Amino acid sequence: MRHIAGIYLLALASVASFLVLMVLSFGELRTMVRQLSDNTGENMVWMVSQLTREAMRVSLATERDLRGDAAPEELAFRLDMLQSRIRVISEPPIYDFFTRNGLAQDFDAIRVTAERLSTALLAGPQGQPVAGRAGLAREMEELANASSALANASMLRERDRLGLQYDTMREASGRLLAASLAVMAVGLGLGSWLLRSLVRQRRVSEQLRDHQEGLERIVAERTSALHEALATERHAKEIYRSFITTVSHQFRTPLAVINMVGQRLTRRAHQFTPAQVQQKAENVTTATARLLELLTSVNRAALIDRLEIGENRESIDLVALCARVIGEMRRLGYARAITLEAPANLPGCSGDPVLLAQVIENLLSNAIKYSDPQTPITLRLTIEGDRLCGAVEDQGIGIPAEDQPRIFERFHRGSNVANLFGTGVGLSLSRTVLALHGGELSFSSVLGEGSVFTFRLPLEPAHAAP
């Protein structure tokens, strides 16, 4: 491990030193490129050429003035142009250019001479002999020649300076290239060493992984059945815990009614009229009927997983079966009006009439239980292809959207029916019965508007579409 760590540290130190060299060389190159891109030399040449040009024009204007050919204001204009050129050159960065190349004193001499000649020429011909003004014209011409020589000297020195910068740039480029190649070489060497190490490590890792996978496979095989059993047991406990809670709550209400009526009749039997006694007896009968219905639901829940049609399958007239179920429900005390709609000559289906009657009763009793007594309930029978359909429609409280995915789970009840009588068994039982008959149960519901539960059964083979 120490040997490997030493190799890593050496490689990292080499890479770091080469990177520092690269950064320094790159910075030097940037500085040189910026200096080379500076066009101060070109501006200097142009401005000095303009200075030379204006000096020659002043000399010519002076000669014409001596001959009397020039306008009075021409010489003054040319002198102003000359002074403006000198002022521009006297300011950075052009003056800095002369300073950098050691020619600032030559330019200062030209500037002083130009100012002296300008002052003398602007004084006018009064008091000056013609030979004197002709001499000023020659001096101005010599000034133009001196400025031209200054420009040439500056360009020569600038060329030498640029040559040195190009040489320095080539050296920096060479260092940058060398550093890059060195980093690449170190990287390739380190990568090759790491690749060999990784190959060896991979072989060891594969052996360890194979051994680990074997152990995990053995553990997984031995614990899979245990996990499944624990999950099944946990789910079953949760279901029956919910069921016991629901049934206990539902048993409590009718038992409380029976107990209350019994205590009143025991304590104050002589105070009740026959009509009151009859009313209390009806309350006891209703509560007892609810207890019986709960016990029936419990028995149905126990039979769901053991339901079979067996030899009880027969041809069923679904219209007559629905009418019989509605009649039996009325005899049991269901006073709600239920509308049965069915087309004439509706084909029959095959199945167990007792189980299918239980499905129809479950759907109708739910519609009655979860809707207002003044709202209609409709049982509509139709044909859809090779299926016989029955839809129970109500205008009740509906099913919340969050409860709809679990509505067919055994013992599950909607969150908006906690205070209403029920066990959560009917829909699960109904779907199981229909599945045994090759059918299905579906629904649509809107909270606060009502629900439609639709069951579908295969037609008898004699009536099915070819």
> Given the structure tokens 């209609």, which residue do they identify?
376
DSSP 8-state code for residue 316: E
> How far lies 34's CA from each of 29, 197, 236, 445, in Å?
9, 47, 81, 77
Q: Which domains does the chain have, with CATH numbers?
A: 2-198 (1.20.120), 309-458 (3.30.565.10)
Query: Tens-of-pLDDT digits for all 466 residues of the chain?
Result: 555 556 556 666 666 665 666 666 656 656 655 554 455 556 667 777 777 887 787 778 777 777 777 666 777 787 788 888 888 877 877 777 777 777 778 878 888 887 887 777 777 654 455 557 677 778 877 878 887 887 787 777 777 777 777 777 777 777 777 777 777 777 777 778 777 877 888 888 888 888 888 888 888 888 887 777 677 666 555 555 554 554 554 455 566 557 666 666 666 666 677 777 777 676 666 666 656 655 555 555 555 555 556 566 889 999 999 999 998 888 777 778 899 999 988 998 988 888 898 899 999 989 998 999 899 999 999 999 899 999 999 999 999 999 999 988 877 788 888 677 677 778 888 898 899 889 999 999 999 999 999 999 999 876 555 4
> Is residue 384 helix, strand or coil?
strand
Helix/strand number for the chain, H first, E second: 10, 7
Query: Using an 8 Å Cβ cutoff, are 370 and 414 in contact?
Result: no
H or E segment at 209? helix 130-268
Task: Tell me the C-alpha distance between 145 and 444, whole Å.
Answer: 106
